[in-house]
Structure 1
């Protein structure tokens, strides 16, 4: 259920209040190529209380698309994949890329702790080399003739899958 930030509190205070509620995953966008899409992903990441959003490259995001949620998020801009690897320091990186998928999102029963979900651009996705360097490559099943999803939709599907499996694992049996 949504949280209501304390009215009149500065963003820094709201971030402090949200910190212990953050989840054990991060979202990374590799040269997304669409500043509106990046803003929308920031908004979605906020709704799932991702640990952080990592932006590879120097592309901007539009605050309007994030609906002000960038104020409450930890956003790091990294120069390249080497900087990403250094930043995540051994945490598992899972590419989300249908063309080089090793398995379907539907087949994932649990996600590793502290996983970093890496997304490419809507137009070009991620390269084989990038995917080969990742710990896993997951594809989101799609069924129409259009063979791609908007970046915000794809990230929302994956974050929702993480949240659903996390909630299921936390339930008493």
Structure 2
């Protein structure tokens, strides 16, 4: 089945992607016959055009980095879709939703189909997941005692844990973390958007640990 391209940043008036495959079809089971026949309008990079979703996920699993992203969702945070999309762009190992299971997928721009997602009703479940896999939990919050992310060295194998918009990290999240980092701010606001904060910290991990030669 052809996947619904869903929302795109270009709106509905501009057609994106590619049309039917020109010429003889490739002899490769990674390709989807229906996409080859009708075209591929999905929000994927050119390297994955016409590929089956399962083939894309399998290939990404070879390329994912050993950092996870977690966000608390006790009040239906609307930034989760953005966090998922950014985690996908940076090839995070997985995204963890802590608290309420339901979240608005529109902001993910369909990237959640290619990203491993976990749900933990409480922070304790995330902490157990991290402990079993020897992942350090790095909490992100502007709180006393936090280390500036601009100078901190992030662990290579870790969970980057973000609080929800407004309240920030819960007490349980703060206690589960082995490191708390903050983002330097110079204006009047007490905090920045949770989706923006997640992007800043994920990119900090990328700058410190990623192999830039493998970027698309």
Q: Structure 1-normalised TM-score?
A: 0.88
* Cα distance, 1:141 vs structure 2: 0.8
- Work out which structure has the larger RCO, using CA pairs closer than 8 Å and 6 or more positions apart in sequence: 1
Question: Partner residue of 1:21?
Answer: 63
1:68 pairs with one of 110, 125, 140? 110
Q: How does 1:23-42 map to 2 (within 5 A)?
A: 23-31=65-73, 33-42=75-84
Could you tell me which runs of 5 or more consecutive residues in structure 2 were left unpaired when the two chains were aligned.
Answer: 1-43
* Cα distance, 1:150 vs structure 2: 1.0
* Cα distance, 1:102 vs structure 2: 2.5
Deviates more, 1:24-33 or 1:145-154: 24-33
2:159 pairs with one of 100, 111, 116? 116
Question: Partner residue of 2:179?
Answer: 136
- Separation in structure 2 between the aligned mates of residue 124 and residue 136 of structure 1, nearest angstrom: 19
- Separation in structure 1 between the aligned mates of residue 48 and residue 112 of structure 2, nearest angstrom: 17
Q: Structure 2-normalised TM-score?
A: 0.71
Cα pair 1:15 1:73 within 8 Å, conserved: yes
Could you tell me which runs of 5 or more consecutive residues in structure 1 were left unpaired when the two chains were aligned.
Answer: none
Residue aligned with 1:17, SS = helix
- Separation in structure 2 between the aligned mates of residue 75 and residue 132 of structure 1, nearest angstrom: 23
Q: Does 1:85 align with 2:146?
A: no
1:162–1:32 CA distance, 2 compared to 1 (3 A): farther
Question: Partner residue of 1:8?
Answer: 50
Cα pair 1:25 1:51 within 8 Å, conserved: yes
Stretches of 4+ aligned residues off by more than 6 angstroms: none
Count of residues in Structure 1 that have an aligned counterpart in Structure 2: 168
